[in-house]
Chains A and B, each alone.
Chain A
């Protein structure tokens, strides 16, 4: 998406990223809008036998079965929920297969969804070095909007390679 910003002398064309922001715990996170298919109220989660540990279970969204990952557990936060009425599931694509493959869907459990923000690309900075360890590899960048700080999640790094493989195997076991 482009935005034309006119100064007095020059005309600058800025590239804008559309980010859907949500809360997990106290922090505000963001996902690029193109990675999201929709946001829904939580559906009942069915735990399947022999599912990998990091997966809560599966849900049935209009006939499509997809695995569910709880971001609270994923980010090492306590199990205490805030308002259960505000909890949402965000359906994303591209996390299971990376770029190019068939678009398999994955549901993320978050505490609440806030809004869609338009952020100029130059306001998104890469993740600080301290936050790129093994536990925080999913951080794709940090966006500054007014005085808010939004942690941008890299869709391809939510799951590690082994986890992706484990899911693919589980998928073969339960076709």
Chain B
């Protein structure tokens, strides 16, 4: 992951002001020095070349004077010797004499300086004695400085001397000067660069980076850092302003943090209160459910009672018809008894007139037997009808008792449970209303804290503005600081908007709690109505109980009368059996015909007595039967009354069920409001948490 060296170098330059200055300055000075060196070198080369040419002209003039007489006398050998001597001189490459026609006069051996390594190389390469060609080769290869001097005598040109000088020394001198200049330049550039770098570091870079570190720490929320200020220049002012801002911020953040902690506490309390409200409405809801199930139980019990009443009514009707039948039978018995009485009277007469006709007597006895048989069967019928009445009455008693037990047990218990449930609903509603009122008060407390936060936010915003002013006056160095100031101002604005949002939330919490109190009040009212209805239902049930008791009493008296009737009927039956026996005995006595009329007379007397007895019993039975009929009618009326009041109770019970349903709906509304309240409180908690988190970023 190591960056290449030139990348790292570029980064170093970008981040350091000293390096930038040093690089710019030294680059510029180096450029200037290089240009100067170039010009100096060019100038020196020109000067030296001109000096060499002057020297060439001097040498040429001396050589022309020395060679004049040799050329005039045509002494070429002498000329060659002279030239061969001179050509060995310093820097000289070649000396060539040419005639007027341009042909060389000196020989190749004499004309060129073989000691010079360049010339030696050219000579070795050319391998010839042609002076002109060799001179061209020297010119091409070595680029000498050339000078031509004319040899003239009395104005007439005799010959020309061409001198060629080496440039090596000139070049050597120029190189030395350039090296010297460059060396000096390097030393100057290095010293200036060092000085500039040191000054920049000392006066600008170090204090600015210290201030920047503190500003970054503030931006990150750490307010414990301070800038050490020792100068009174612009950078010193920047540091002092930064310290002032840090102290101001420290105070403010402390305030805000205190307020926010209080806010968190209050918010926690509000959450608790909201949880209480939720729990209370839960309890209320459960109580309503319980009351509802109790009311439903009662309702079903009342329906069952109604069914029982219907059964009772039916049974009573059946009993009534059976009793009427019985009465009819008894009437018949009475009529038969009257017949029997007259027959017995006739029998008595016949017995008294026994002697008159045995046949007539036997016929009468036959009629009597038939009649006795008929009577026996009628009695059996009566017995069965009476038994039916008895069992009906018993059933009536059992049903009336069941009605009483139901009304006393299920009905009364359900109504008491309903009243208890209603009372608890009322209590819980009252408690919920109290809790919600307290919640409203807490919300007002939060409002007070919010004004403190608003004030602190306002002050923060003002401080950030002043920081921006200070940063602007610190110039370029304050730029980073200006960014921090803008961020703090932004933070203050965000806190302000968050605060106003919390304010709005509190207003809505207050409104909702007022609404919740209203709903609770309605719930209490409904619960009171429900209690009233339940009490009315209890009264109605009490009436039913009384009527059921009356019914039971009637049924019992019916039962008792029927038991008496049964006894009477048993006696009638026995009597009828006795009549039968008597009739048989009479038959036997008649068939014997002679077993004694006294016995018959006695028997006849006895029979008359028994007939009287039976007659009386039958009259009693008729009376009892009438009684039974009356009682049955009364019982029917009562049963109908009971049936009507049972209907009333059922209507009351329906009303209670509806009231309970309304209460249930109210409780649901309460629960929904409580959950709304909960969610509002949750939003409040979240906002508070966000505020706290923002504040936790600061270290004081």
> Could you list which residues of chain A lie within 8 angstroms of chain B, going by C-beta atoms?
18, 20, 33-34, 36-41, 85-86, 88, 113, 115-116
Contact = CB atoms under 8 A, between A and B. Distances in A.
Given A86-B458, A88-B462, A113-B465, 17 more contacts: A20-B465, A20-B469, A33-B468, A33-B469, A33-B473, A34-B472, A38-B466, A38-B470, A39-B466, A39-B469, A41-B462, A113-B462, A115-B465, A116-B465, A116-B468, A116-B469, A116-B472
Contacts of A20: 465, 469
Contacts of A41: 459, 462
Contact-size category for B:
10 to 19
A36 B471 CA distance: 12
B458 A38 contact: no
A38 B462 CA distance: 9
Contacts of B489: 115
Interface in B468-522: 468-470, 472-473, 489
Contacts of A37: 469
A36 B466 CA distance: 9
B462 A40 contact: yes
Contacts of A116: 465, 468-469, 472
B472 A18 contact: yes
A115 B462 CA distance: 10
A105 to B, nearest CB: 14
A95 B466 CA distance: 19
A34 B468 contact: no
Contacts of B470: 38
B476 to A, nearest CB: 9
B472 A39 contact: no
Interface of B: 455, 458-459, 462, 465-466, 468-470, 472-473, 489
Contacts of B465: 20, 39, 113, 115-116
Nearest to B476: A1
29 contacts: A18-B472, A20-B465, A20-B469, A33-B468, A33-B469, A33-B472, A34-B472, A34-B473, A36-B469, A38-B466, A38-B469, A38-B470, A39-B462, A39-B465, A39-B466, A39-B469, A40-B462, A41-B459, A85-B455, A85-B458, A86-B458, A88-B462, A113-B462, A113-B465, A115-B489, A116-B465, A116-B468, A116-B469, A116-B472
Nearest to B459: A41
Contacts of A86: 458
A68 to B, nearest CB: 18
A39 B472 CA distance: 14
A133 B462 CA distance: 34
B4 to A, nearest CB: 29
Q: Of residues A85, A86, A116, which shows the largest number of chain B Cβ atoms within 10 Å of its Cβ? A: A116
A126 B462 CA distance: 30
Contacts of A85: 455, 458
Nearest to A41: B462
Contacts of B473: 33-34
Contacts of B472: 18, 33-34, 116
A116 B466 CA distance: 10
The B contact surface, by secondary structure, is helix
Interface centre among B459, B468, B469, B472, by most A CB within 10 Å? B469
Contacts of B462: 39-41, 88, 113
A88 B463 CA distance: 12
A152 B381 CA distance: 129
B98 to A, nearest CB: 69
A26 to B, nearest CB: 21
Nearest to B472: A33
A6 B469 CA distance: 28
B528 to A, nearest CB: 50
Among A33, A38, A40, A41, max chain B CB count under 10 A is at A38
A38 B464 CA distance: 11
A137 B662 CA distance: 76
Nearest to B470: A38
A34 B471 CA distance: 10
B485 to A, nearest CB: 9
Nearest to B241: A38
Interface centre among B455, B458, B465 (most CB of A within 10 A): B465
Interface pairs A-B: 9 shortest CB-CB: A33-B472, A38-B466, A116-B468, A18-B472, A36-B469, A39-B465, A33-B469, A39-B466, A38-B469
A113 B469 CA distance: 13
Contacts of B455: 85
A36 B468 CA distance: 11
B578 to A, nearest CB: 124
A116 B468 CA distance: 8
A115 B490 CA distance: 11
Contacts of A39: 462, 465-466, 469
A7 B427 CA distance: 77
A85 B454 CA distance: 11
Contacts of A88: 462
Nearest to A33: B472
A34 B472 CA distance: 7
A96 to B, nearest CB: 19
A40 B459 CA distance: 9
Contacts of A113: 462, 465
A38 B458 CA distance: 15
Nearest to A2: B476
A145 to B, nearest CB: 16
A39 B485 CA distance: 14
A13 B465 CA distance: 27
B240 to A, nearest CB: 13
Nearest to A37: B469
A116 B479 CA distance: 13
B473 to A, nearest CB: 7
Interface centre among A34, A39, A86 (most CB of B within 10 A): A39
A141 B33 CA distance: 51
A88 B455 CA distance: 14
A18 B468 CA distance: 10
A113 to B, nearest CB: 6
Nearest to B455: A85
B631 to A, nearest CB: 95
A86 B459 CA distance: 10
A65 B462 CA distance: 22
Nearest to B489: A115
A136 B455 CA distance: 35
A86 B472 CA distance: 23
Contacts of A40: 462
Contacts of A18: 472
A85 B466 CA distance: 18
A33 B468 CA distance: 9
A18 B459 CA distance: 22
B114 to A, nearest CB: 69
A88 B469 CA distance: 15
Nearest to B465: A39
